[in-house]
Structure 1
């Protein structure tokens, strides 16, 4: 099984911590954020991982290597000095997906989610008629309005209550390949909105711990009680 880890962001809101360190290598209880994801992916049966790189990407490549120490095979997608955004990052790697469904994970989130849930989602997306499935959670204080509602297991912009996208989910290769507005640089949300109006994007509600490590204060807050 394949997984894509988003790791190309500049981490501007995390400065000065990210002045010399890419955000995926910031640590929670001494372990880099990206390691939590890679270890959990391997434990859940994923074998191939693509990591996109831009800002200080050489450090991420040097740290993760070929992936063998995690029990994975890791490849890298070099995006240059300006990241391709989340949708563009996936579009750039369409040949690597080779038509297979995959997990997609933001390196800068921390959650106690069991990644076997992602493995089951990847294996069943197509037969359930879905193009993607997102893991949603409670709305944090910095994002009280949430992102999506859930209706009959599918995402919607109309239903309430609304929940927050965790930055963790799964998708088919067709999710990007057949998105008509695909281009070199675009945000993932555009493809999500295209498919969700067709009831093709599922949702799973995670009720455990989760944190979007978006500021130094949030990173500090989870040091004493890591949730991964």
Structure 2
């Protein structure tokens, strides 16, 4: 099974750290965040790795060469959203099933192994939280995805989308059908919602941990977690 890392964003919430480098290369305890991501993916058994990069792709390439890591860099010249990013990787994915995650997210090896389902369903990894208003909430029925509600104002559930997916090749058919979202992007979650309407998307629950490098305020929290858990 292939894995696709989405790392095309500029990381504006990480300024000034991202002024001259890529968000996923920000050092965590002296080691680029992407190192942890790739380490975990390799421990989970992935060997065929694609990285979608739009901002500073040369920095990611330099990192891969310096660390002798084999991965395919896929260009996304225009930042048109996660759905658009995945579409750029259609040739890389071919007819294989693919696990997709953001380059600014770190998942446990156990969770990366658990999502490698070889059946014909797509999967989303969810986590129960108290501050559900800040995330996309997964509305489910018997672990089947019904829909995703982005940052709901009223309570519809507390199971949120962590941004870890396993997709079948059908994702590309769905991506070809979606239109621009309200924020002017092609959203991967919109394509998954289309597949959910056909009862083709299942939801898994987080087993261990998920770290999100969303803003510069997250850096010390992640550094503490990494040090404490000897990652």
- TM-score w.r.t. the length of structure 2 is 0.83
Instruction: State the distance in 2 between where 1:154 and 1:109 align.
Output: 24
1:55-66 matches, within 5 Å, as: 55-65=55-65
Using the TM superposition, give the Cα deviation of residue 113 of structure 1 relative to its aligned residue in structure 2, in angstroms.
4.7
Q: Unpaired runs of 5+ in structure 1?
A: none
SS in 1 for 2:72: strand
Q: Is the 8 A contact 2:37 2:107 kept in 1?
A: no
Q: Is the 8 A contact 1:91 1:182 kept in 2?
A: no
Please say if 1:27 is aligned against 2:17: no
- For these two proteins, the number of residue pairs brought into alignment is 217
Q: Which residue of 2 aligns with 1:118?
A: 115
Which residue among 68, 73, 76 is the counterpart of 2:73? Answer: 76
Using the TM superposition, give the Cα deviation of residue 177 of structure 1 relative to its aligned residue in structure 2, in angstroms.
2.8
Using the TM superposition, give the Cα deviation of residue 138 of structure 1 relative to its aligned residue in structure 2, in angstroms.
2.7
SS in 1 for 2:217: helix
Q: Which residue of 1 aligns with 2:209?
A: 209
1:38-117 matches, within 5 Å, as: 38-65=38-65, 69-70=68-69, 73-80=70-77, 82-114=78-110, 115-117=112-114
Q: Is the 8 A contact 2:34 2:103 kept in 1?
A: yes
Instruction: State the distance in 1 between where 2:133 and 2:107 align.
Output: 17
Q: Which residue of 1 aligns with 2:123?
A: 133
Q: Unpaired runs of 5+ in structure 2?
A: 149-154
Q: Which residue of 1 aligns with 2:4?
A: 4
RMSD: 2.6
Q: Is the 8 A contact 1:176 1:182 kept in 2?
A: no
Q: Which residue of 2 aligns with 1:149?
A: 139
Q: Is the 8 A contact 1:135 1:167 kept in 2?
A: yes
Please say if 1:15 is aligned against 2:15: yes
Spell out, residue by residue over 1:66-108, the C-alpha distance to the aligned partner (whole angstroms, 9 max, x if none): 98x45xx41111122x324211111122122111101101010
